[in-house]
């Protein structure tokens, strides 16, 4: 019999009340020194509509990050620079291959401090990009407000609010499932069973929130207006970035960088669901092809952990190394409650992924099969993906093949079910 793990969530920047969302609301403004960043992000939707964003961004001064002090200030700077970067890259008729140093230099510094890549991640778009009334229940979608969007549309705000609500809904289950891990170590099957049944309920409620995407986010608006700005610079050769983006640094030096864009695969909560149940994901077929040329073992979901805040990533890795709930449940017979509870949780997680697949089919696959009315929006992930008759080769904003990855993830979840 082993003692409890005693994982202190706050050491990883995680709250027992809000989970991976910040317990204290994201900061609403940096100090006056950073006014140029604040002002241009306030105008992002209008400047993008008028095709004048790059003109204004190229006149930004090179600001030092030395005046950022608290973590909330660093996080807000990351949000601002994420929106500036992706607006600059994707805000013209063709994507910009060179990021000016007034943007790239501070962005690289802020990203290094937070342990994140210099691109618009799930953290920038969701975790640190909301506000709400005090003591609001953020699992209710309507209770959050989004600070920034690229398009200024209610559709984009709703898209982010759904993710925030799922994060808030899942927050309470984190300490419960850590309790289950401890119960395994103490050989207490009753506690493990009750935690797993509660986990199943949480997953069902999360799926119900995800299904609300249809209420206020139009598939056409998402595909043509929102999604292009979420794309990264990795695997985007067909969209006009064969080498990624050149991040200028001091003395006119720099380097080409390729980053995935914002993706729900970067949600620490979703990956927590997997590791706590012992769901294992293999490289997709697309990734295996890449291995033959690169010699590496590319697992997309593990790659996405690099796009999580450093503390969240370390937490996921520790839980993955310590959790053995599935092995423990295997000791029991199929008639016992603990087996039922475990398989119910797995089934609910697979159902959650099914809902995600249905949304992708409606919001990405279906619009991609329709011919473009015009090329007025230029070259981006939407225009190069449109009029496809097949799902094969259709990439997500994270840079991986979309449907093969999602279906394989769902199938691997189902295969975790204990016989």
Annotated binding site: 356
Cβ pair 48, 351 in contact under 8 A: no
Tell me the two tokens of residue 269.
Answer: 């909560």
Instruction: Work out the angle at residue 301's Cα, subtended by the Cα atoms of residues 210 and 21, and round it to the nearest 5 degrees.
Output: 50
CA distances (Å), origin 109, targets 59, 66, 113: 20, 10, 6
Rounded Cα–Cα distance for residues 91 and 84 (Å): 10
Give the C-alpha separation, 123 to 129, whole Å.
Answer: 8
**CB hemisphere CA count around 391 (13 angstroms):** 16
β-pair type (245-248, 254-257): antiparallel
d(CA 399, CA 396): 5
SS3 content of the chain, % helix, strand, coil (to 5): 60, 5, 35
User: For residue 324, how far is the Cα from the chain centroid?
Assistant: 26
Contact 144, 165 (CB under 8 A): yes
Longest Cα–Cα distance of the chain, Å, equals 69
How many whole angstroms separate alpha carbon 114 and alpha carbon 129?
16
Q: Give the C-alpha separation, 239 to 229, whole Å.
A: 12
Considering only CA atoms, which of 25, 291, 7, 3 is closest in space to residue 136?
Answer: 25
Taking the C-alpha atoms of 48, 54, 58 and 63 in order, what is their torsion angle to the nearest 10 degrees? 40
- Kindly give the residue spans of alpha helices, DSSP state H, lying in 130-260: 154-171, 173-185, 189-210, 213-216, 219-221, 227-230
What is the rounded distance in angstroms from the CA atom of residue 332 to the CA atom of residue 245? 53
Place of tokens 């380097």: 255
How far is it, in rounded angstroms, from Cα 179 to Cα 148? 37
Write the DSSP string, 127-139: ITSEEE-TT--TT
Q: Which amino acids are annotated as binding site for heme b, given as ranges?
A: 356
Backbone angles phi, psi at 30, to 5 degrees: -90, 170
């Amino acid at each position: 019999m082993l003692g409890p793990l005693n994982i202190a969530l706050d050491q990883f920047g995680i709250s027992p009340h809000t989970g991976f969302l910040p317990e204290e609301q994201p900061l609403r403004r940096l100090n006056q020194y950073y006014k140029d960043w604040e002002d241009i992000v306030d105008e992002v939707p209008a400047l993008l509509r008028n095709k004048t964003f790059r003109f204004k961004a190229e006149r930004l001064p090179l600001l030092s990050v030395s005046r950022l002090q608290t973590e909330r200030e660093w996080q807000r700077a990351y949000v601002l620079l994420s929106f500036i970067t992706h607006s600059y890259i994707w805000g013209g008729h063709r994507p910009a291959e060179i990021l000016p140093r007034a943007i790239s230099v501070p962005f690289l510094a802020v990203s290094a401090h937070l342990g994140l890549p210099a691109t618009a991640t799930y953290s920038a778009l969701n975790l640190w990009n909301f506000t709400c009334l005090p003591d609001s229940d953020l699992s209710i979608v309507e209770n959050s407000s989004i600070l920034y969007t690229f398009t200024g549309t209610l559709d984009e705000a709703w898209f982010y609010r759904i993710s925030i609500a799922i994060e808030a809904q899942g927050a309470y289950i984190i300490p419960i499932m850590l309790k289950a891990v401890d119960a395994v170590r103490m050989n207490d099957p009753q506690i493990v069973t009750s935690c797993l049944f509660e986990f199943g309920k949480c997953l069902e409620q999360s799926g119900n929130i995800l299904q609300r995407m249809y209420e206020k986010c139009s598939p056409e608006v998402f595909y043509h207006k929102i999604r292009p700005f979420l794309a990264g610079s990795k695997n985007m050769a067909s969209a006009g970035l064969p080498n990624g983006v050149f991040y200028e640094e001091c003395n006119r030096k720099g380097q080409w960088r390729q980053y995935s864009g914002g993706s729900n695969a970067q949600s620490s909560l979703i990956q927590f669901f997997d590791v706590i149940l012992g769901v294992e994901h293999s490289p997709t077929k697309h990734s295996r092809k890449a291995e033959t040329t690169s010699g590496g073992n590319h697992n997309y979901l593990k790659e996405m952990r690099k796009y999580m805040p450093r503390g969240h990533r370390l937490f996921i890795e520790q839980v993955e190394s310590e959790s053995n709930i599935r092995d423990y449940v295997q000791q029991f017979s199929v008639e016992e409650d603990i087996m039922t509870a475990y398989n119910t949780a797995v089934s609910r997680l697979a159902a959650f992924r099914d809902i995600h697949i249905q949304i992708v089919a409606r919001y990405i696959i279906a619009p991609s099969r329709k011919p473009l009315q015009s090329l007025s929006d230029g070259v981006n992930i939407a225009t190069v993906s449109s009029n496809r008759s097949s799902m094969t080769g259709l990439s997500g904003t994270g840079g991986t093949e979309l449907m093969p990855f999602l279906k394989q993830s769902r199938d691997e979840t189902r295969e975790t079910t204990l016989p």
